[in-house]
Amino acid sequence: MIEEYRGVWVFIEQNDGEIEGVSLELLGAGRKLADKLEVALAGVLLGDNVKSLCPEVIAYGADEVYVVDHPVMKDYRTESYMKGIMLLAEKYKPEIFLYGATPNGKDLASAVATDLSTGLTADTTMLDVDLEKRLLEASRPAFGGNIMATILCKKHRPQMATVRPKVMKALERDMNRTGKIIEEEIDLKEEDMRTKVLKIVKDITKKASLADAHVVVAGGKGMGDLQGFQLIHELADTIGASVGGTRDVVEAGWLPHELQVGQTGETITPKIYFAIGISGAIQHVVGMKNSEFIIAINKDPNAPIFDVATYGIVGDAMEIVPKLIEQFKVLRKEKGGEVSYV
Amino acid sequence: MHIVVCVKQVPDTKIIKINPKTNTLDRRSAPAILNPYDAHAVQEAVKIKKMVGECTISVLSMGPPQATAVIKKSIEIGADKGYLISDRAFAGADTLATSYALSKALERIAKEEPADLVICGLHAIDGDTGQVGPGIARRMDIPPVTNVIEVTELNEKEKTILLKRKLANGYQLIQADYPCLMTVGKEINEIEYSPMPNMIKAARYEPIIWSVNDLENVNRPQLGLKGSPTIVGKMFTPPKPEGGKRLEGNSDEQVSQLIELLQDKKELFFTAR
């Protein structure tokens, strides 16, 4: 039974005809798995008028693209999208099926896993296969400890996982790649839908400030209290950076949830990341470790944050940060301009 | 109107300690609490109850007998009734087996009064998956709406509910026919202080406890560990990155070294004009 299932699939999430970054990253990660298993890598594309995106999916590594194109699938809805996925998965039987751990990807994967009665691993950060048993090894930080757990799904197929954005690497776009496009018809009627998307409101400002920031100043519980945490805001203001924080800080109410960096918050890759008063629990580190230049300031010389930092300062943030702010202000005056980044 | 809120007892991750030898959780160190997202789910049910005429709020949980504590906590917030399904047969369940057991309990509850709305927290802070809510919706064949940040309107005549569903950047305004299931984040409301009568009711309240035998048409192989397709293969400490350079000296020296380094990194950082 299990042997019937072959191939690695990636759900290609698109919004308004634009493919989400995480889907391209998953094509990169899926390529490696498919090569190891010596099977095809397929992208699964659903939407309204999305066929034109197929060459992109192939350029980023897919051998095949399964497309279900229907007006009812214009905007993401669990009920219409899962029908499309079920149609394909039951007919073509992939052995591995990956989704981006975005709000829509998680929603879709949870519903599909239930209907397929198969296993689903949430928020994966490492992927590999056990070649002999053809098992997907989906690893994610285990609750609480600085430890990873590898989740297996031995007896059910497809083996499914949602994968954190910005953890895997996309391949170089190669328009010379060729692939096969497989179209499936679906019978959907708008009248049968029990949910309607009345409108979509984009709020780019809030998100952009953290996810797309070049420089992020993040603080943790080591800032002591809400007042101490003001130093994080002050430093960020001085150098024109965005503010981020750990889960603890958000739980304590010092920052809104949108500014949480880590497993249950944002995964970000700024050019410069200041980790101040942050010990470096794995849940936080998975959200920032791919930043280009990481500066850690912490009292505890053994704090795990120093393991991922490019430069570490062992010391009291309360003493160092004000001096840093001072120095930056002097610098700003000298150069007679704003601090900026390329 | 009948609202059922699914709640879970979790260890308080803010307090829990890590055993430095095994790198795993010392569960005994943490008090058990109502999953914070679920508290917001109960609070939202209370808000909806105020919007509509007649409304009963039931809470449903699965767990060991001591999980009755989170049902009492939910009564404090404003729930009317509470059910706990508790049996060794449920133990070791992953998200698929959990949604199966809870959907069977919901079937039993529906015999008394079917649910118009099922509300779950976005995810539990111990598992962080967010997969059980949508799973329950599929099993009940009702539409799931995850990540709801606002209940905008409820039309009892048309049996529709207007919801804002959070997206990666922005939100969708969704009109759903109910019965439906929604999962809610923390943005949806503020937990209010419980009025005294609720506290008194909670203290005296005895939740209804069901074992697997109290549920009907249960396919036992779909429960607990046996019904769970996923298993933990291994636990490991991730390979340690090498770590970078430490900046030595007193704080003044450290700060000036850092400033210099940042200025050297011209491609990263420079001052304009």
User: pLDDT tens digits for B61-91?
Assistant: 999 999 999 999 999 999 999 999 999 999 9
Whether residue B270 has pLDDT greater than 50: no
Backbone angles phi, psi at B170, to 5 degrees: 120, -155
Q: What share of chain A is helix, strand, coil (3-state, %, to 5)?
A: 35, 30, 35
Residue A78: closest C-alpha in chain B = B144
- Among candidate residues A159, A192, A225, the one where a domain is terminated: A192
Using CB atoms and an 8 Å cut-off, which of residues 105-124 of chain A contact chain B? 106-107, 109-111, 113-115, 117-123
Domain CATH number, residue A331: 3.40.50.1220
How many other CB atoms are there within 10 angstroms of residue A19's CB atom? 19
What integer pLDDT is reported at residue B224 of this predicted model? 95
Chain B CB contacts of A153 under 8 Å are 229-231
CB nearest to A119's CB, from B96, B134, B242 = B96
CATH 3.40.1030.10, applies to B2-222: no
DSSP string, A10-55: EEE-EETTEE-HHHHHHHHHHHHHHHHHT--EEEEEEESS-GGGHH
pLDDT, residue B268, reads 44
Are A16 and A136 part of one and the same domain? Answer: yes
Please report the pLDDT score of residue A337 as a whole number: 58
Find, in chain B, the residue whose alpha carbon is nearest to that of A264.
B128
| Run of H or E including B138 | helix B132-140
Q: Say yes or no to pLDDT of A79 above 50.
A: yes
SS3 A235: helix
B168 shares contact with chain A (CB less than 8 Å): yes
Residue A245 has pLDDT above 60, yes or no: yes
Dist. CA B58–CA A340, nearest whole Å: 55
In tens, the pLDDT along B128-145 reads 899 999 999 999 999 999
pLDDT tens track for B151-185: 999 999 999 999 999 987 789 999 999 999 999 99
Angle between helices A317-335 and A226-239 (to 10 degrees): 20
Tell whether the model's pLDDT for residue A6 goes beyond 70. Answer: yes
Judgement on whether residues A31 and A73 belong to the same structural domain of the protein: yes
Residue A250 lies in a domain: yes
Is B182's Cβ below 8 Å from some Cβ in A? no
Lowest mean pLDDT among A119-128, A144-153, B16-25, B235-244: B16-25
What is B12-45 written as a DSSP string?
-TTT-EE-TTT-SEEGGGS-EEE-HHHHHHHHHH
Contact A330/B at CB under 8 A: no
User: Are A161 and A80 found together in one domain?
Assistant: yes
Report the alpha-carbon angle B12-A127-A279, nearest 5: 40
A259 and A152, same domain (yes or no): no
Query: Looking at the partner chain, which of B22, B96, B252 has a beta carbon nearest the beta carbon of A113?
Result: B96
Report the chain B residue with the minimal C-alpha distance to residue A163: B129
Closest chain B C-alpha to A14 CA, distance in angstroms: 12
A-contacting residues of B 127-156, CB under 8 Å? 127-131, 133-135, 137-139, 142-147
Residues of A in contact with B229 (CB under 8 A): 117-119, 153-156
Q: Please state the rounded mean pLDDT for residues B100-120.
A: 98
Cβ within 8 Å of A, B 39-58: none
Has this prediction a pTM greater than 0.90? no
Give the range among A268-272, A334-338, B53-57 with minimum mean pLDDT.
A334-338
* Residue A161 lies in domain: 2-192
Q: Do A317 and A271 belong to one domain? A: yes
| Domain ranges for chain B | 2-222
pLDDT at residue A145 tops 60? no
Q: What is the pLDDT of residue B52?
A: 92
